[in-house]
Amino acid sequence: DQQVKQNSPSLSVQEGRISILNCDYTNSMFDYFLWYKKYPAEGPTFLISISSIKDKNEDGRFTVFLNKSAKHLSLHIVPSQPGDSAVYFCAARVSSDMRFGAGTRLTVKP
Amino acid sequence: NAGVTQTPKFRVLKTGQSMTLLCAQDMNHEYMYWYRQDPGMGLRLIHYSVGEGTTAKGEVPDGYNVSRLKKQNFLLGLESAAPSQTSVYFCASSWTRTKDEQFFGPGTRLTVL
C-alpha cells in the first residue's frame, strides 16, 4: 500500500527553465512533508520541507507547494541547473511513521 | 565530521548465510533508522531506534534484527539471508523523530544469491 506516490519516474528539462516534480499522497493524517535529493552512490540528502499548516515554503531556487485538499505536493526548481540532475524523493510523515515515494529522476540538460 | 557511515559498501551472500551491517554516526543523534530501497519503490523503514538500548519495528521488519548498544552505532542483522532481501540498505539518523530531517549514509548494496 503505497501511501506516497510519485507518478513520473523521470523528467527532463533545459537548463534555466523550471522543473516541477509532483507527489501525491493518500493518508490525510500526514502532517509534515519533505523532499530529498539523491545522487548516484550516495545517500539521500534533505532538500526542503513543509508543515501541513502551510501551503508554501521557499528556500532559494527551491519552493515546495502543498495542496491539502488535493493531497498533492510539488517541488519547483527555478532556474534549473545541470547540478540539479538527481533522483528526488518526496516523503510524508505522521507521528513516528515516514513514507517515501519511489522517486523521480530529474535530468537538466545544458 | 564524517556524518553517517555504513560498512560494508557492497556484499554478496548465499541464501541462508548471515551478516551484519554496521551504521555509525558522529552527530550525537538520538534517533537512528534502517531503510531498504528496491527498484520502483520508495525507501521503506525496517527498524528504528529512539536511543541507546532501544529499538522498534518499522514497516518491513521481518527477517531482520537490530541492536543499538552504543548511541553512535546501529547494527542491522540478517540471520538467514533470502533472495528477497537483495536490496540497497540505507542507515539514517536524526535528533528527533518529528520534523527534523534525517541524515543518510551512502548505502550498502546487498545481493543474496
Q: Which residues of B touch A102 (CB under 8 A)?
A: 40-42
pLDDT at residue B42 in the model: 86
Contact B98 A42 (CB under 8 A): no
- Name the grid cell of B2: 564524517
pLDDT digits (tens, 9 = 90+) for A51-76: 999 999 999 999 999 999 999 999 99
Q: Is B92 on the interface with A (CB under 8 A)?
A: yes
Rounded Cα distance between A73 and A36, Å, is: 13
The residue among A63, A76, A100 whose CA lies nearest residue A21 is: A76
Omega of the bond prior to A79 within 30 degrees of 0, cis? yes
- Contact (CB, 8 A) for B74 and B32: yes
Are the Cβ atoms of A34 and B101 closer than 8 angstroms?
Answer: yes
Give yes or no for residue A95 having a pLDDT over 80: no
Q: What does the block give as the cell for A43?
A: 545517500
Average pLDDT value for chain B: 93
Closest CA to A89 of A78, A80, A98: A98
Q: What is the pLDDT along chain B (113 residues), one digit of tens a residue?
A: 789 999 999 999 999 999 999 999 999 999 999 999 998 888 999 999 999 999 999 999 999 999 999 999 999 999 999 999 999 999 999 987 666 788 999 999 999 99
Strand partners, B93: B32, B103
